[in-house]
Amino acid sequence: MPQMIDSGAVANLIRETARTLILPRFRALDSDDIREKKPGDPVTIADIETERALTRLLPAISDGSKVLGEESVAEDPRQLELLSSDEQVWIIDPVDGTSNFARGEPGFAVIVALTRHGAVEAGWIYDPLGDLMIHAIKGEGAWAGDRRLAVATEVPPERITGSAYGRAKSGVRAAKALSASGRIRHVYNRGCSGLEYMAVAQGNSHFSLHSRSLPWDHAAGMLIVSEAGGKAAFLDGAPYDTRIPDRPVLAAASEAGWRTVSDVIANS
């Protein structure tokens, strides 16, 4: 990376911010702490305050860096233009899985990535309820603390499990198409891309398919799965690029699993 990043310092900022601003509000939100950005797309006071805090703190770790947060883009979509600038850009999803969080259900994470010119240089995903932090720096592997992560060892495609959102080519839901194909074992959706990427990187799941490539949802996870030994790319096989927000993405533990999922989606 052009500038050395203290990954531990980033992890500490994320963890302490979550402990201060997210966990105290879990199952303690008032009705006026939740609103909808658009129908079915909630945002909570925890999302807003966590993004503000990380936006203030992260630039001190990388001189000259900028910050792009999910909630700031919701207010001003033109901020996506930052991803094409020459500076390093921090991308923040303050509470990934907001719908779960707002309902008082487990299944949410904090996601942070550091990017430049569309490429992901580092990523962090934090599970506040499990107090589990996973991070990766490009070329240096994926880690949970001092434990290096590796995707699941090769298994027959018909035994793989994972998550799938969006629709197959025919228009049928991707999860339904995969389940009905007989070519994989099981699809489960947790409503939190961060935790689903963590599961693939830890060897507990085999794929994660999403219909849109919004950078706050996917930048960190795509790098982490790749650094753990998996394959992560746009569904058409092109390399992942944070500057493209609306193209299907697929991360998988193996090349064979990646091909199986992509083939079912293309032909169902």
For the stretch 37-86, pLDDT in tens is 988 899 999 999 999 999 999 999 998 899 999 999 999 999 999 999 99
At 5, the pLDDT band (50, 70, 90 cuts) reads: confident
Percent over 90 (pLDDT), the chain: 93
* Cβ-count burial 12-42 (b if 16+ within 10 Å, e if not): ebbbebbeebbeebbeebeeeebeeeeeeeb
CATH of the domain at 166: 3.40.190.80
Which of 118, 148, 178 terminates a domain? The answer is 148
**Same domain for 132 and 78?**
yes
- The rounded distance, in Å, linking the Cα atoms of 107 and 189 is 10
- The rounded distance, in Å, linking the Cα atoms of 234 and 250 is 6
**Same domain for 13 and 141?**
yes
**Same domain for 87 and 66?**
yes
At 141, the pLDDT band (50, 70, 90 cuts) reads: very high
For the stretch 9-28, pLDDT in tens is 999 999 999 999 999 999 99
- The rounded distance, in Å, linking the Cα atoms of 40 and 169 is 24
For the stretch 218-242, pLDDT in tens is 999 999 999 999 999 999 999 999 9
What predicted TM-score, i.e. pTM, was given to this entire model?
A: 0.96
User: Is 1 part of a structural domain of the chain?
Assistant: no
* pLDDT at residue 153, rounded to an integer: 84
Residue 250: is its pLDDT beyond 50? yes
**Same domain for 12 and 143?**
yes
Residue 1: is its pLDDT beyond 80? no
Q: Which amino acid is at 213?
A: S
Q: Contact 230/152 with Cβ under 8 angstroms? A: no
**Same domain for 105 and 74?**
yes
* pLDDT at residue 3, rounded to an integer: 58
Determine the straight-line distance between the first and last CA of the chain, rounded to whole angstroms: 41
* pLDDT at residue 156, rounded to an integer: 87
User: Is 123 part of a structural domain of the chain?
Assistant: yes
Instruction: State the average pLDDT over residues 196-223.
Output: 98
**Same domain for 167 and 96?**
no
Domain count for the chain, please give it. Answer: 2
What is the domain extent for residue 52?
7-148
**Same domain for 143 and 161?**
no
What is the rounded average pLDDT for all residues in the chain? 95
* pLDDT at residue 78, rounded to an integer: 95
Burial-class residue 199 by CB neighbours within 10 Å (0-12, 13-18, 19+).
buried
* pLDDT at residue 38, rounded to an integer: 86
Look at residue 115 and give its three-state secondary structure. strand
CATH of the domain at 121: 3.30.540.10
* Tokens found for residue 222: 């795509």
Which of 113, 148, 183 terminates a domain? The answer is 148
- Helix 45-57 / helix 7-17 crossing angle, nearest 10 deg: 150
For the stretch 81-129, pLDDT in tens is 999 999 999 999 999 999 999 999 999 999 999 999 999 999 999 999 9
Look at residue 113 and give its three-state secondary structure. strand
**Same domain for 181 and 243?**
yes
Q: Contact 230/201 with Cβ under 8 angstroms? A: yes
At 137, the pLDDT band (50, 70, 90 cuts) reads: very high
Which of 148, 179, 212 terminates a domain? The answer is 148
